[in-house]
Amino acid sequence: MKIKNNYQTSPCIICVALTGSVPRKKHNKNIPISINEQIESAHECFEEGATIAHCHVRNNDESISFSPDKFFKLKEGLRKFCHGMVIQFSTGGRYSLGKERGKMLSIKPDMASLSVGSNNFPNSVYSNPPELIDWLIEEMNKYKIKPEIEIFDLSHLFKAAELYKDNKITGSPYIQFVMGIKNAMPADKSVFNFYIKKIDKLFKEASWCAAGIGKYQYKINEWCIKKGGHTRTGMEDNIRLNKNMLAPSNASLVKLTANICKINKRPIANWKQTRQILGLPLKFN
């Protein structure tokens, strides 16, 4: 008799990465760029089961922005139209802007992404110097923001463990592996399995998810859902519904992920369960 995997009954969090900093309307006209488009898109995704919105903001010309005003408006809209959804701001800086990447943290999102090491991207260096990492953590702790720790390479996982041991990251860590970016970590199953095993060894308790970039999105969703992790989808990472078709919306990608949960009998976490899993308050402002 096959032993039942406990994970099968544990709710799976679906995060939607709405916009990111790279794709433009010329790549897929359906990508939400303005704050209103982002709120509308998040609302559709929330209805399909996504309970974390990973947020970047853009200027009118679609270039990346770190404007606290824009982040404030986005948070306000998400609170109003997606009640309970976890709001996660990106402090990622493909264009390496130093502390500018964290100046919106005073707006107090529920979560913020936190990169803990440097690596290469397809055409650039993703630079996260130690002093910037320390400063971002201090800011997140100051405003009681839960970090989502981004792992783009093996050394990042060990850095996260060190930060956890030193009590700089408190509570139960939430760790995300990013796989399939050219020049960084490949979408390789044995590497994925190794990382998950390593989490158990390095942290007393931690939850994890993974994001697959481009054509790897669906596959990584499957790996996470089958292995008991949480998962991420959205047009930041992948603009296609399948090989032959651009995604008509973020919600269409969330639907695909929700369907993988269904196939594998994983319930999808609602916003209250998501907040419980992440140790976030059920009352918030």
Name the site residues for Mg ion (rule: CB under 5 A). Answer: 90, 92
CB 114 within 8 A of CB 142: no
Antiparallel, parallel or unpaired: β 125-126 and 207-212: unpaired
The residue among 148 and 266 lying less far from Mg ion, judged by its C-beta, is 148
Q: Report the nearest approach of Mg ion to the CB of residue 93 (Å).
A: 10
Least spacing, CB of residue 210 vs Mg ion, in Å: 14
Query: Quick one: how far is CA 18 from the chain centroid?
Result: 10
Residue 92 or 229 having the CB closest to Mg ion:
92
CB of 76 to Mg ion, least distance (A): 20
User: Nearer Cβ to Mg ion, position 5 or 127?
Assistant: 127
Helices 189-202 + 217-227 axis angle, to 10: 40
Q: Which of 132, 266 has the CB closer to Mg ion?
A: 132
Q: Contact at 8 Å (CB) between 268 and 233? A: no
Minimum distance from CB of 164 to Mg ion (Å)?
22
* Cβ distance to Mg ion smaller for residue 118 or 266: 118
* DSSP symbols for 232-247: EESTTT--EEETTEE-
d(CA 183, CA 273): 36
- Minimum distance from residue 54 beta carbon to Mg ion (Å): 6
Query: From the CB of 188, what's the least distance to Mg ion, in Å?
Result: 22
Q: Helix (H, G, I), strand (E, B), or coil: what is residue 113?
A: strand
Residue 72: its H or E element: helix 68-81
Comparison of 213 and 277: residue with beta carbon closer to Mg ion: 213
Single-letter amino acid, residue 61: D
Query: Reduced to 3 states, what is the DSSP secondary structure of residue 119?
Result: strand
